[in-house]
């Protein structure tokens, strides 16, 4: 408790008592859900500013909501990216594959084949559609719910599953928590479990790209809860001071594990509004509208390539599933939230748009979903031949001392010899050393 200064008044003090505000979510388990407080503007109603405009000219963009797909399943307004049907079908296919991958990996965790998994159900557009708006060699610094980027960029699915299973085929040799992928070849920076560290890394990489006169930009993804981390704010400062060619994507899915977005500041203002204080261009986007996600990311990418500066984008979406396989959302939020969410499901909305313009139908969607599920099943079986959690098919024990130092220090050499010798005594000739 804070002590009163000596000589301060105690009795008769008529100053009002202070009170601490603790954010509370609007709905708890068992509550009836009413999302009427969320303002959902008409699709196409938001103006599209020039990509090189001054951030001060787009203040309202941080409080509105960029939307393209309307209730009639048609594309509307200046933000319509006017993608051809083949591109839209490809986008839908990547989203369907991501969802099928999530389902299979979730079941694998429940079957004890891996220790951990995180689904991105309801958020597919924020990774698949957004990454399609970037160049294939633009560097991405993702968080742990952007598996759709790797799927969209053609990263071999078997490599993803090997990593999740931490088996002998895992290129990261079991040194990363499952789902924390890495691929230099696909310009996909290693995922870190330390939240928000990827934001200053992305800004630093973008600054280096600009210093070298390169043409590649950087993009990073961070959850709304992680914007409370100091790293995020440092990234915003460096991005605006040095005009870094970077896109800061905030995925506002309403929940940071069991803490609702109010603890990160959502009660006071939007997350896109954080751009204003830093002098960043800020956009707030319907994260369940695949066309809006693509259009906003492409706008920000064009801005970065024109040396007009960085952009902060808030994708307003909803985490339909638990935070991870270690989480039970029924303990902290109403079961009605998922079905009552006013912005719908991104996969369904894109499918319905393609049907509305005469370029798709339910039969083809059913076939696509089945083919995606069968493909994931086939690749999973191939990966399982390399081993699953706890079944001994992993990298040799000695490799834990490799790939860290160019030349192993003397004390680690001694530890390595001792550890391997003890393992030989415990498992004589029985396990790969």
pLDDT digits (tens, 9 = 90+) for 391-413: 878 887 778 888 888 999 999 99
The answer to whether 182 and 126 are in contact (CB under 8 A) is: no
Q: What are phi and psi of 275, to 5 degrees?
A: -65, -30
Structure tokens at 303: 């801005």
CA proximity to 317, closest of 23, 38, 32, 28: 38
pLDDT of residue 397: 76
Strand partners, 140: 188, 219
pLDDT reading at 430 higher than 60: no
Helices (H), 306-361: 337-340, 346-356
Percent of the chain with pLDDT over 90: 88
pLDDT reading at 9 higher than 70: no
Between 146 and 6, the more confident residue is 146
pLDDT of residue 48: 98
Mean pLDDT is lowest, of 6-10, 150-154, 237-241, 269-273, for: 6-10
Strand partners, 256: 259
Q: How far apart are CA 98 and CA 369, in angstroms?
A: 10
Q: Look at strands 259-260 and 255-256 and give their pairing.
A: antiparallel
Mean pLDDT is lowest, of 19-23, 56-60, 94-98, 420-424, for: 420-424
Q: What is the mean pLDDT of the chain?
A: 94
Neighbours of 50 (CB within 10 A): 11
pLDDT of residue 429: 66
pLDDT of residue 339: 94
- From residue 421, give the alpha-carbon distance in Å to each of 74, 394, 415, 433: 68, 19, 10, 9
Q: How far apart are CA 186 and CA 53, in angstroms?
A: 31
Can you tell me the mean pLDDT for 190-214? 97
Structure tokens at 317: 């979406």
Q: How far apart are CA 245 and CA 257, in angstroms?
A: 31
Can you tell me the mean pLDDT for 23-40? 95
pLDDT reading at 424 higher than 90: no
Chain segment 255-311, per-residue pLDDT in tens:
999 999 999 999 999 999 999 999 999 999 999 999 999 999 999 999 999 999 999
CATH topology of domain 55-384: Rossmann fold (3.40.50)
- From residue 103, give the alpha-carbon distance in Å to each of 100, 118, 251: 5, 10, 21
Q: How far apart are CA 217 and CA 192, in angstroms?
A: 20
Positive or negative, the CA dihedral 152, 157, 161, 166 is negative
Can you tell me the mean pLDDT for 111-139? 98
- From residue 306, give the alpha-carbon distance in Å to each of 72, 276, 278, 302: 35, 21, 20, 6
Chain segment 149-164, per-residue pLDDT in tens:
999 999 999 999 999 9
pLDDT of residue 395: 81
Length of the chain: 433
- Residue 132, CB-side half-sphere exposure with 13 Å CA sphere: 25
Domains of the chain, by residue range, sit at 55-384, 397-426
pLDDT reading at 373 higher than 60: yes
pLDDT reading at 431 higher than 80: no
Can you tell me the mean pLDDT for 338-348? 97
pLDDT of residue 390: 82
Between 81 and 422, the more confident residue is 81
User: Which H, E and C letters describe 32-85, residue by residue?
Assistant: CCCCCCCCCCCCCCCCCCCCCCCHHHHHHHHCCCECCECCCCCECCCCCCCCCH
Using 50, 70 and 90 to split pLDDT, how confident is the model at 419?
Answer: confident
Can you tell me the mean pLDDT for 376-401? 89
Q: Look at strands 255-256 and 246-252 and give their pairing.
A: unpaired
Can you tell me the mean pLDDT for 238-243? 98
- From residue 423, give the alpha-carbon distance in Å to each of 134, 174, 374, 417, 433: 48, 18, 41, 10, 8
Q: How far apart are CA 320 and CA 291, in angstroms?
A: 20
Mean pLDDT is lowest, of 204-213, 378-387, 413-422, for: 413-422
Give 362-371's long-range contacts (Cβ < 8 A, gap of 24+).
368/92, 368/93, 368/96, 369/96, 369/100
Using 50, 70 and 90 to split pLDDT, how confident is the model at 420?
Answer: confident
Exposure string (b/e) for 309-325, b if CB count within 10 Å is 16 or more?
bbbbbbbbbbbbbbbbb
DSSP 154: T
Q: How far apart are CA 38 and CA 254, in angstroms?
A: 12
pLDDT of residue 156: 98
């Amino acid at each position: 408790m804070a002590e009163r200064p000596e000589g301060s008044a105690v009795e008769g003090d008529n100053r009002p008592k202070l009170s601490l505000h603790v954010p509370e979510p609007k709905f708890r388990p068992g509550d009836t859900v009413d999302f009427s407080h969320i303002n959902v503007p008409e699709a196409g109603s938001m103006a599209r500013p020039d990509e090189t405009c001054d951030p001060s000219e787009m203040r309202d963009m941080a409080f509105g909501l960029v939307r393209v797909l309307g209730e009639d399943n048609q594309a509307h307004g200046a933000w319509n990216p006017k993608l051809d049907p083949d591109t839209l079908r490809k986008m839908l296919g990547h989203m369907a594959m991501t969802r099928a991958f999530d389902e299979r990996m979730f079941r694998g965790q429940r079957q004890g084949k891996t220790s951990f998994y995180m689904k991105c159900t309801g958020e597919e557009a924020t990774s698949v559609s957004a990454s399609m708006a970037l160049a294939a060699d633009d560097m991405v610094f993702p968080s742990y719910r952007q598996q759709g980027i790797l799927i969209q960029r053609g990263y071999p699915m078997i490599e993803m599953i090997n990593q999740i299973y931490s088996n002998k085929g895992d290129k990261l040799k079991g040194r990363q928590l499952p789902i924390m992928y890495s691929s230099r070849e696909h310009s996909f920076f290693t995922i870190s479990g330390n939240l928000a560290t990827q934001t200053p890394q992305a800004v630093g990489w973008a600054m280096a790209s600009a210093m070298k006169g390169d043409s590649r930009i950087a993009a990073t993804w961070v959850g709304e809860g992680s914007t409370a981390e100091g790293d995020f704010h440092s990234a915003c400062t460096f991005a605006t001071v040095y005009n870094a060619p970077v896109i800061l994507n905030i995925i506002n899915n309403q929940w940071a594990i069991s803490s609702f977005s109010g603890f990160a500041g959502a009660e006071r203002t939007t997350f896109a509004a954080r751009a204003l204080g830093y002098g960043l261009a800020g956009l707030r986007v319907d994260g369940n509208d695949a066309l809006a996600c693509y259009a906003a990311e492409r706008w920000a990418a064009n801005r970065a390539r024109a040396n007009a500066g960085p952009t902060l984008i808030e994708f307003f979406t909803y985490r339909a599933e638990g935070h991870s396989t270690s989480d039970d959302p029924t303990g902290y939020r109403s079961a009605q939230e998922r079905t009552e969410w006013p912005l719908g499901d991104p996969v369904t909305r894109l499918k319905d748009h393609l049907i509305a313009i005469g370029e798709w139908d339910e039969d083809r969607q059913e076939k696509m979903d089945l083919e995606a599920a069968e493909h994931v099943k086939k690749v999973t079986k191939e990966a399982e031949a390399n081993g699953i959690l706890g079944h001994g098919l992993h990298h040799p024990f000695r490799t834990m001392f490799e790939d860290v130092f160019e030349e192993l220090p003397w004390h680690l050499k001694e530890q390595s010899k001792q550890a391997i010798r003890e393992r030989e005594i415990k498992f004589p000739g029985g396990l790969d050393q």
